[in-house]
Amino acid sequence: MITKATSDFSKFDFQSGEVILIDKPICWSSFKVVYKIRQATGVKKVGHAGTLDPLASGLLIICTGKKTKEITKYQDFEKTYTGTITLGKSSPSMDLETEICATNSTEGIFDKQILDARDSFIGRITQIPPMYSAVKVNGKSLYKIARKGKTIERIPREITIYSFDIKNISVPYIDFEIVCSKGTYIRSIANDFGEKLGCGGLLSSLRRTKIGNYCVEDALDTNEFTKKLKDEIYNFVKI
């Protein structure tokens, strides 16, 4: 596995298959990271083990070559996220990707209500995928339907929230860390959290810090990976 600690790229065979830990920056799509890795390695077969929204940062596991057959294994691991919920505001995408469509007062919301609301999300729960998501219904991605201003019925899914820690409360902002099963939409949790408190809520920041036992601290950002790879090629040609 290629991590930040990796110093010698010469031993890796991206065509045969490698696994790379990447720290995705904000405002990049997961597909853009895959595209950049594909360009840098010259390998056509590249995929990621779990989408991160463009406004989210953090850990992506990238597989190349024959290692793409292992993507499902990584997708099944539990995920850890940190982020911020902003109470009193709502948007169609449930985050800051779309314009805020409703603003409500957060007056009278105190720590106990927030912690009680938090407790209701822990364990096995059902969640409706957001309209602004890559989930497909009848062959069409929901986000494409949402961008046309339409909303369709979605089937609730079962997910598991293993832990939901509130790190800081400074209304309207709630900083959290969540450990959850695959298929969990943190945006939906932010939206439902706000609804439970009666004021609305959206996800204003999100970072994926772990996938299973793999940590974002060990990940390379895309530019670091590309530079190290180019340096290795340059040194090889120079020799």
**57: exposed, middle or buried (C-beta count within 10 Å: 0-12, 13-18, 19+)?**
buried
Cα–Cα dist 122/36, whole Å: 37
Query: At CA 49, angle to CA 213 and CA 11, rounded to 5?
Result: 75
Q: State the catalytic residue, choosing from 23, 53, 95, 192.
A: 53
Say if CB 189 and CB 121 are below 8 A apart. yes
Single-letter amino acid, residue 114: I
Say if CB 142 and CB 135 are below 8 A apart. yes
Q: Note if 116 is an active site residue.
A: no
Q: Which helix (H) or strand (E) segment is 81 a member of?
A: strand 79-87
How many CB atoms are located within 10 Å of the residue 101 CB?
12
- Catalytic sites, residue numbers: 53
